Amino acid sequence: MTAMTRAELATAPRIVVKVGSSSISGESSWRIPMIVHALAGAHARGCEIVLVSSGAIATGIPFLDLDARPTDLATQQAAAAVGQNVLVYRYQEALRPFRITAGQVLLTTGDLETATSRSNARRAMERLLGLRILPIVNENDTVATQEIRFGDNDRLAALVAQLIGADALVLLSDVESLYTKPPTDPAAEPIDTIAADADLEGLEFGATVVNSVGTGGAATKVSAARLAAASGIGVLVTSADLIDRALHGDEIGTWFEPVIQAR
């Protein structure tokens, strides 16, 4: 048995794709149709696609007449409630020409940590995929508290990939690949492949980025990628602008080789 390769993304039966707030909210909302076009292409070839999308709070902020991301939990939850509605509407409008229907799935850590709710979540996702619906997953911000949050949607995407037994996970960001140091460092070099048994000690991957609309960065993607790869799921980290090439198996981004699972 051999491990899945990056090129096999072009024929993978089931893929989870994660996109962050900074890639699809505010002035970057133009990327939604571009991302949907790539997802629709994979869907047309028979691939079962699940999209994990951040951006609810960032999308909701303008509708609450706020100048910046709120810091108190109640206002964050209010922004998420408004923004999630708008975000899914934008995705559905972009999906309409392809005659693909989106299904909203909101999760908390408890949904994936408790046996019964985990089983229910898996069954619902499987049924959506069986009906050729494109599930759009996000954290249920309106009920999540700081203590019960996933921490970031990269981790949520890895857990969803595990939940549904995905073949691959694609983590989209603002840069084309992971680097040995912060990309602004002249000594930084892009990382093409990370072996399943690689020792990552000593690699910086850049500091965690916290911007005005989202949280995350290279560190969270590495952590999520290793989590998924340990379950036998191949992981690609690359730029949201390269999603179409990613789903065609092109030699781009940073590929985390999956651990071969014993039968």
SS3 44: helix
Residue 67 labelled as part of a binding site: no
Read off the DSSP letter of residue 210.
E
Q: Above 70 in pLDDT, residue 149? A: no
Residue 18 labelled as part of a binding site: yes
Residue 54 labelled as part of a binding site: yes
pLDDT the model gives residue 212 = 36
Q: Above 90 in pLDDT, residue 135? A: yes
Residue 117 labelled as part of a binding site: no
pLDDT the model gives residue 202 = 56
Q: Which of 97-106, 153-162, 205-214 has the lowest mean pLDDT?
A: 205-214
- Strands (E) across the chain are located at 14-19, 48-53, 102-107, 134-139, 168-173, 193-194, 209-210, 215-216, 234-239, 254-256
pTM for this prediction: 0.92
Residue 239 labelled as part of a binding site: no
State mean pLDDT over 144-158.
73
Predicted confidence band of residue 220 (pLDDT cuts 50, 70, 90): confident
* % of the chain residues with pLDDT over 90: 63
* % of the chain residues with pLDDT over 70: 89
Predicted confidence band of residue 3 (pLDDT cuts 50, 70, 90): confident
State mean pLDDT over 174-191.
85
Residue 173 labelled as part of a binding site: yes
List the domain boundaries for the chain: 7-256
pLDDT the model gives residue 214 = 43
CA distance 105 to 140: 9
Half-sphere exposure of 68 (CA within 13 A, CB side): 4
User: Looking at domain 7-256, what is its CATH homologous superfamily?
Assistant: Acetylglutamate kinase-like (3.40.1160.10)
pLDDT in tens, 38-96: 999 999 999 999 999 999 989 999 999 888 888 888 898 899 999 999 999 999 999 99
SS3 135: strand
pLDDT in tens, 89-119: 999 999 999 999 999 999 988 788 889 999 9
pLDDT in tens, 238-254: 999 999 999 999 999 99
CA distance 151 to 259: 24
